[in-house]
Amino acid sequence: MDKKTQSLIRESINEKKEEVIRSFQVLFQYPFHPDATFIMLEVRGDGGLFGLTVTQMNGWGKQLTKNV
């Protein structure tokens, strides 16, 4: 990602910092699959909360497609 895009993302998040924090607090209360070792946040801008797509992962090679 180029520096200008990174700067614009940071700027837009900082403009609504409190709203972003509240939204992430809600997101991380989601009941993720027990085998999930991390979640990947993909910034796409074409849908989802703040244009983020959340993917549950179990290691780098395995995407978990089932919720708890």
pLDDT of residue 34: 83
* Rounded CA separation 30/8 (Å): 28
Query: Measured between alpha carbons, how far is residue 51 from residues 15, 34, 61 in Å?
Result: 16, 25, 23
Query: For residues 25 and 8, is the Cβ–Cβ distance under 8 A?
Result: no
pLDDT of residue 10: 83
pTM, 2 dp:
0.45
How many other C-beta atoms are found inside a 10 Å radius of the C-beta of residue 56?
A: 20
Q: Partners of 63 in the beta sheet? A: 57
Give the mean model confidence (pLDDT) for residues 21-30.
76
pLDDT at residue 9 tops 60: yes
Reported confidence tier of residue 46, pLDDT bands at 50, 70, 90: low
User: Which is more confident, 55 or 15?
Assistant: 15
